[in-house]
Amino acid sequence: MTIMHELYREHLLDHYRHPRNAAPLTHPDAVAEEHNPLCGDRVRAEAKFSHGRVVAVTLETRGCVIATAAGSLLSEWAIGKHPAEIAALDYAVMQKILGATVGAGRAKCLMLPLEALRHAVGNAKTKR
Amino acid sequence: MMDVLAIRKQFPLFARRAAPFAYLDSAATTQKPQCVLDALVDFYSRRNSNIHRGAYALAEAATALYESARARLARFVGAAGAHEIVFQKNTTEAINLVAFAWGREHIGRGDEIVASVAEHHSNFVPWLELCRRSGARLRVVPLQGERVDANAFLSALSRKTKLVAIHHVSNVLGRAAPLREITEAARSVGARVLVDAAQSAGHLPLDVQALQCDFLAFSGHKMYGPTGIGVLYGRAELLSEMPPFSFGGGMIREVGETAATYAEPPRRFEAGTPPIAEAVALAAAADFLDGLGREHIAAHERDLAAYALARLQESEGVCIYGGRDMAERAGLVSFNLRGFHGHDVATLLDERGIAVRAGFHCAQPLMRALGVAATCRASFGVYTLREDIDRLADGLRYAHSVLGSVSS
């Protein structure tokens, strides 16, 4: 069966079935959780820093294909980045990271992992 | 039996689509038949004028059309007369009118309002808010085995109960509530009953005398009429003791510089220029439904529900909410693909030309009671074919194959 929908191509389904960086970190520097009460999706973000950069990330997502794959791909993207680069991410860049166009109806699914990660990174900054 | 293919031809939206389209979201809004579109266009192209007090023939004709639409809707629900029909924007506004105008006079500290956990937010949040303002208590009746149970309701009623707010057909469970037992019990403790008929007005025979309710609210756009218009039925003696809630033109008797007096119901509750063309088109929708026969529509949709329950039960990994038997079943079924998110399922179905709704359906307390974050919902109308349900079953097989067997 051919899958027509770009949101459900094998690449994204692979990240959905086997999300990267989903296991809890030991002694994370920053932790945050976000959830979308509208659909029940939940993301837990953890991060470790070294010399002002992210060296380890966990994005543990319980949700739909878009949220889970976005969390997995974002976790890979975020390693080595400066908190300011994470803070600067937006909807357009998140679609690039996902490699697919996400309509307004599912925008929240795409953005939820980013909100959790930003929140975690922001918490860490206030701690320092 | 209804000739569904002939009925479908009356709906331009289906005629204009080249690819097959299984529209299974009639509970959110129905498609519109040509006769309703014609009524709107006819009003604006030949009869358009504001109503009341226009001393010219066109205004008088428009007023007569608006008031005859009111009389038509009174017959549609079996009201004692047109004076019991208040035009509102939709079900939500109609219920809010009762919460604000009737509630302010009749609900106070120590009183109780009783509602089922299965109410749509529009028949839940206005009562939460009224209770917060007045110091009354909202008693929420739990489900018994995924359905609204008359006995559970009865045990929540007492002399403190001033109002029972209950749906006719649940927009998630797809079943009619045991209204007769509930209204009887409510009357025995002296409570009023408001029925949310949003999911029944376009699907089942509706008779406020038989239901013995005090208020009944529904939306035009869920019964083949236009958006922007809904109906509040209220028993005449209750409407006449209700103060106005919204103030301005059209609802007054006399205005001085220091005080104003107000018109009799129903105009007392229709401040400002009402949705005139929409009222006329809603009357056309009532004609459309009665032309088909609401008993026939109900039988058609029950047949579809039985077929959908059977097809979904044989589909792999489908979990059905609201029970699998046909008692009091109406034309909608909620389900999930076990382990998968409703949004993913709905997006994959959409790719195959199948429109279902996924989410919490404006019923978060009910979602919690069912123990789910969201469900998918397939809902039917006069134009729904068994083939649409076959397409849904095929689509679910496709979604299952795409999403794989990993549970989230």
Amino acid identity, position B82: A
Q: What is the pLDDT of residues A26-77, one digit of tens each?
A: 999 999 999 887 777 899 999 999 999 999 999 999 889 999 999 999 999 9
Q: Are B225 and B272 in contact (CB under 8 A)?
A: no
CA–CA separation, B354 vs B347, rounded Å? 9
Look at the block and give the residue holding tokens 């006069």.
Answer: B382
How is residue B38 annotated by DSSP? H
Q: Please tell me whether residue A103 adopts helix, strand or coil conformation.
A: coil
Residues of B assigned a catalytic role? 362
The better pLDDT of the pair B310, B404 is held by B310
Residue A125 has pLDDT above 70, yes or no: no
Q: Are B382 and B292 in contact (CB under 8 A)?
A: yes
Name residues whose C-beta falls within 8 Å of residue B301's C-beta, 6 or more positions apart in sequence.
B203, B330, B331, B380, B381, B384
A126 φ/ψ angles, rounded to the nearest 5 degrees? -70, -25
How is residue B329 annotated by DSSP? B
Q: Please tell me whether residue A74 adopts helix, strand or coil conformation.
A: helix
CA–CA separation, B317 vs A65, rounded Å? 18
Does A104 reach chain B within 8 Å, measured CB to CB? Answer: no
pLDDT at A5: 66
What are the beta bridge partners of residue B254? B261
Mean pLDDT of chain B: 96
In chain B, whose CA is at the least distance from the CA of A102? B347
How is residue B172 annotated by DSSP? T
Does B402 reach chain A within 8 Å, measured CB to CB? Answer: yes
Query: The whole model's pTM is what?
Result: 0.93
CA distances (Å), origin B174, targets B109, B144, B168, B323: 35, 15, 10, 9
Q: Are B39 and B280 in contact (CB under 8 A)?
A: yes
Gap from B121 CA to chain A (nearest CA, Å): 13
Residue B344 has pLDDT above 50, yes or no: yes
pLDDT at B29: 98
How is residue A21 annotated by DSSP? T
CA–CA separation, B3 vs B91, rounded Å? 30
| Residue length of chain A | 128
Does B19 reach chain A within 8 Å, measured CB to CB? Answer: no
Chain B residues whose beta carbon lies within 8 Å of the beta carbon of residue A41? 341, 373
Q: What is the pLDDT of residues B16-54, one digit of tens each?
A: 887 889 999 999 999 999 999 999 999 999 999 999 877
Name residues whose C-beta falls within 8 Å of residue A69's C-beta, 6 or more positions apart in sequence.
A12, A13, A15, A16, A19, A98
Does A2 reach chain B within 8 Å, measured CB to CB? Answer: no
Gap from B361 CA to chain A (nearest CA, Å): 10
Report B:328-367 residues touching A (Cβ under 8 A): 341-344, 347-348, 351, 359-360, 364
Q: Please tell me whether residue B395 adopts helix, strand or coil conformation.
A: helix
In chain A, whose CA is at the least distance from the CA of B376? A39
Name residues whose C-beta falls within 8 Å of residue B345's C-beta, 6 or more positions apart in sequence.
B336, B337, B356, B358, B376, B396, B399, B403
Beta carbons of B344 and A62 less than 8 Å apart:
no
| Residue % of chain B over a pLDDT of 90 | 93
Beta carbons of B341 and A39 less than 8 Å apart:
yes
Q: What is the pLDDT of residues B185-227, one digit of tens each?
A: 999 999 999 999 999 999 999 999 999 999 999 999 999 999 9
CA–CA separation, B157 vs B185, rounded Å? 8
CA–CA separation, B345 vs B343, rounded Å? 5
Q: What is the pLDDT of residues A18-35, one digit of tens each?
A: 999 999 999 999 999 998
In chain A, whose CA is at the least distance from the CA of B352? A4
Neighbours of A96 (CB within 10 A): 11
Q: Please tell me whether residue B243 adopts helix, strand or coil conformation.
A: coil
Chain B residues whose beta carbon lies within 8 Å of the beta carbon of residue A8? 344, 347-348, 402-403
Instruction: Count A/B contacts: CB-CB distance under 8 Å.
Output: 53
Gap from A67 CA to chain B (nearest CA, Å): 10
Does B403 reach chain A within 8 Å, measured CB to CB? Answer: yes
Two tokens, residue B82? 């047109």
Average pLDDT over residues B72-96: 98
Strand (E) or helix (H) holding A114: helix A107-127
Strand (E) or helix (H) holding B378: strand B375-379
Name residues whose C-beta falls within 8 Å of residue B392's C-beta, 6 or more positions apart in sequence.
B22, B24, B308, B311, B312, B349, B354, B356, B378
The C-alpha torsion from B369 through B372 and B376 to B377, rounded to 10°, is 0
Residue B1 has pLDDT above 80, yes or no: no
Residue B408 has pLDDT above 80, yes or no: no
What are the beta bridge partners of residue B332? B379
Chain A residues whose beta carbon lies within 8 Å of the beta carbon of residue B401? 1
pLDDT at A1: 45
Gap from B19 CA to chain A (nearest CA, Å): 16
A4-13, B219-228, B298-307: segment of lowest average pLDDT: A4-13
Average pLDDT over residues B265-284: 98
CA–CA separation, B206 vs B213, rounded Å? 11
Residue A127 has pLDDT above 70, yes or no: no
Q: Are B364 and B120 in contact (CB under 8 A)?
A: no
Task: Characterise B353 by phi-psi region: left (phi > 0), alpha (psi -120 to 50), beta (else).
Answer: left
Q: What is the pLDDT of residues B103-152, one digit of tens each?
A: 999 999 999 999 999 999 999 999 999 999 999 999 999 999 999 999 99
Amino acid identity, position B95: I
CA–CA separation, B133 vs B107, rounded Å? 10
Beta carbons of A4 and B401 less than 8 Å apart:
no
